[in-house]
Structure 1
Amino acid sequence: MVLVGLKELIHFLNKLEESNIFYKLNKVRNEAIMVEIVVPGQRWEVEFMEDGVVEIEKFISDGVFYDIKEIETLFKDFSD
């Protein structure tokens, strides 16, 4: 397992900027900083944990597009 620190996070952010890859920073867990990356057809969540571990989750589109009616599904399936 490769552990990383603040220096590696900054290097990663600089490389994203140099490559013109859109990202934003977020904090979902108390022990991590998340880098949310959006590229065509994909969204990546890269979390830099306080213990030096990096977790990456990729959300990849199946290429299917929906019309306005799909919003009903959102509320029906995911509302509390």
Structure 2
Amino acid sequence: MRLFYFDIRDGASVSRDTTGTRLADLEAARHEALSVLAPIAGDALPDDTPCSVTVTVRDEDRQPVFHASLALVEDWI
């Protein structure tokens, strides 16, 4: 098991993971990052303002190893 840290950026706000999560490997860390991205974005969605949420995964040396973003842009047509 390896330790991974999941940092969340929601617009200008950044939440750095200081605890970490033990997972089997990089693929498990990728899966975890993607699985938390949509619910976080859903909670952060503003009214008719472009929004993006980013998850950066760091390894046990606290070096970035994976990055994923989800953006929402909406318009009335």
Shorter-chain TM-score range: 0.3 to 0.5
Q: Which structure has the bigger radius of gyration?
A: 1
| Higher relative contact order, structure no. (Cα contacts within 8 Å, ≥ 6 residues apart) | 2
Q: When you count strand as a share of all residues, which structure comes out higher?
A: 2
TM-score, normalised relative to structure 1: 0.35
